[in-house]
Structure 1
């Protein structure tokens, strides 16, 4: 079957050390800029000072406190600030959570209703404030895609939306800012990028040598970084993770090919209920999902085994290789290893998936609630 797709990625990428200064190319002295960031780590690693220096002479204010899983409750406060201060440009400084949150702020600030409408699907984004991103934690690719995920604490929901209106106009990727990241953050970034790639690759056979080859290059690169984990503080290692994570979800490798995302849908619920890091939730779900769906994914698993791990004719060994890669960077694949997880996983997650319309997910829409339950039980080793 021939590929058919439309692809556009309008985000200008400024890659390399010192590139934060380049943000002024995209800003006007007439802008009222809101700088959005998280818990304050950018004030410890020098990023805040670089941003402040670049914005000298510009009209800007700031909003901090965006969580690792950006919450509707926190972001709503930023939306009020934007409207009160007549902000007309959003500058996200942080990882995927800050950038996702900024996308929500950009869209909700020009919407008369409740911005959560975008997450629950009762409204479509028709306009948004322009935004740019300065990436500090490579993982989600949010700095140059149209996607965002937001949580609602009051209802234990974690939902996503996508719109071309929230594509960042520019993204600064300076690997040198990664030097202060923790092992947990680096491992999460690596795992997140790997699963992102799998969600677009490990599905159905296709005819595109470019798409498969590109995805396999990303997967091999991430596996190489995992195998050289001891070098994770080296500049070249950090540079490669930032590049690979960006390319894993900038929209291209999924263009025109079947996509899965079931691991993400189940993982989102685990994060919403139990506070498990996003990448950690993916690591516990994915291997079990692959085992349950091993027949349906047999051809691509075999292809991945040979072209990424050098494994021939043993799909179970491919899944073990993925698990071992996660374990090698300190991320468990056993849901029971997380202290916050209780004995009500099935009782909580399955009804929530149903309530959110996730009753037939995966590339073939054949991962039903019964199969999701089987996957979760297997993940609780």
Structure 2
């Protein structure tokens, strides 16, 4: 292990913590509040935010999509530039927070913000931002990454920079009370795959990272199996905190990481609008079977330490089956059906996008070539 790790986001966790905004943003800062479709006006979050900003000068921007688009976010970028915004407050789930990170960076750049996603512009400054999390899933509230879609070209790309790491994150589990069941399930699946991308790689001897990853996976498994308890404070608190810990950088420090499931899954979302978490559930089992020999040791470790399976020659295979069954028990499909009737055309479309984005050697071993991606998609698409 050789790494440098720091997480600069201050977490305000627990009931009633939205009031922490008041003391976390300078009263002299002009604030832009960014949110999504307006559900925060129905569940009381908006009113709490407004009350916390009563001593601040602030404006708002709404309409950030579930998969935030450059086209929408550029309108917020214009507001930041034209109204001399000093601080951005993202109020929402991962999409709103990711989108706000794009706005924060693009507002300090005079060119096309999409240059951030293509790597043609390296972020050197950003408008400071904070987050009020309303949907636990991505961990975006305390990491430096974001995923943005360009609707005009159906491109979905990611970027990361310490300049866009939120200064603080408010995590009040009470905001989850009005979330639809589907979004809660998506949160479990998203966090589960985030852990797997950093855990199901190679055997490396990093006992803390592996042990903590297994703890998070067992917790998510328990939350999925006890979904009928989702209205309890304890259930909500544990999902919100586990989803945060899954992608705050800790379990990925000093160890190999995969992320191929995400790269392929992003294309399913960009092409057919599949929920991000559900795109991951579609891709992951097929990808694990395709990469079985490279991941056999860690799959066997997961089978024993997460699912409690007994050792056998086919333990890795049974672990993949257990993962797939975990999704299916939550009524999450592991096959893509949104593509319509032409399976071959769908496979070709995804492979073409992967090639266009330069994703020709994915995974911790760079063994997922375009041909391997095609094989994975052949299994994953109904």
TM-score range, shorter chain: over 0.9
Aligned to 1:128: 126
Aligned to 2:20: 22
Task: Give the C-alpha shift of residue 235 in structure 1.
Answer: 1.6
**Partner of 2:60: helix, strand, or coil?**
strand
- Give the distance between the partners of 1:366 and 1:135, measured in 2 at CA: 36
**Partner of 2:292: helix, strand, or coil?**
coil
* Matches for 1:57-206 after TM superposition, within 5 Å: 57-206=55-204
**Partner of 1:295: helix, strand, or coil?**
helix
Task: Give the C-alpha shift of residue 322 in structure 1.
Answer: 0.8
**Partner of 1:151: helix, strand, or coil?**
strand
1:246 to 241, 244, 247: 244
Task: Give the C-alpha shift of residue 213 in structure 1.
Answer: 0.4
Aligned to 1:38: 36
Task: Give the C-alpha shift of residue 377 in structure 1.
Answer: 0.4
Q: Which runs of 5+ in 2 are unaligned?
A: none
1:354 correspondence with 2:355: yes
Q: Tell me if structure 2 keeps the 8 A contact 1:275–1:340.
A: no
Q: Which runs of 5+ in 1 are unaligned?
A: none
Task: Give the C-alpha shift of residue 25 in structure 1.
Answer: 2.1
Q: Tell me if structure 2 keeps the 8 A contact 1:353–1:359.
A: yes
Q: Structure 1, residues 63-84: CA drift from partner, whole Å, max 9, x if none?
A: 0000000000000000011111
* Matches for 1:44-63 after TM superposition, within 5 Å: 44-63=42-61
TM-score, normalisation: structure 2? 0.98
- Give the distance between the partners of 2:275 and 2:52, measured in 1 at CA: 32
> Which is worse superposed, 227-236 or 97-106?
227-236
- Give the distance between the partners of 1:341 and 1:205, measured in 2 at CA: 41
**Partner of 1:272: helix, strand, or coil?**
helix
- Give the distance between the partners of 2:318 and 2:367, measured in 1 at CA: 24
- Give the distance between the partners of 1:330 and 1:73, measured in 2 at CA: 33
1:210 correspondence with 2:208: yes
**Partner of 1:5: helix, strand, or coil?**
coil
Task: Give the C-alpha shift of residue 326 in structure 1.
Answer: 0.9
Instruction: Quickly say closer, same or farther: Cα 1:78–1:340, change in 2 above 3 A.
Output: farther
Aligned to 2:298: 300
- Give the distance between the partners of 2:381 and 2:364, measured in 1 at CA: 24
**Partner of 2:294: helix, strand, or coil?**
coil
**Partner of 1:309: helix, strand, or coil?**
coil
**Partner of 1:137: helix, strand, or coil?**
coil
Aligned residue pairs, count = 378
**Partner of 1:45: helix, strand, or coil?**
coil
Aligned to 1:327: 328
- Give the distance between the partners of 1:316 and 1:4, measured in 2 at CA: 32
**Partner of 1:361: helix, strand, or coil?**
coil
> Which is worse superposed, 206-215 or 141-150?
206-215
Task: Give the C-alpha shift of residue 206 in structure 1.
Answer: 1.3
Task: Give the C-alpha shift of residue 54 in structure 1.
Answer: 0.5
1:288 correspondence with 2:289: no
> Which is worse superposed, 42-51 or 203-212?
203-212
- Give the distance between the partners of 1:70 and 1:61, measured in 2 at CA: 20
Aligned to 1:224: 222
**Partner of 1:155: helix, strand, or coil?**
coil
- Give the distance between the partners of 1:150 and 1:368, measured in 2 at CA: 24
- Give the distance between the partners of 1:20 and 1:74, measured in 2 at CA: 26
Task: Give the C-alpha shift of residue 340 in structure 1.
Answer: 5.6
Task: Give the C-alpha shift of residue 28 in structure 1.
Answer: 1.2
Q: Tell me if structure 2 keeps the 8 A contact 1:274–1:340.
A: no
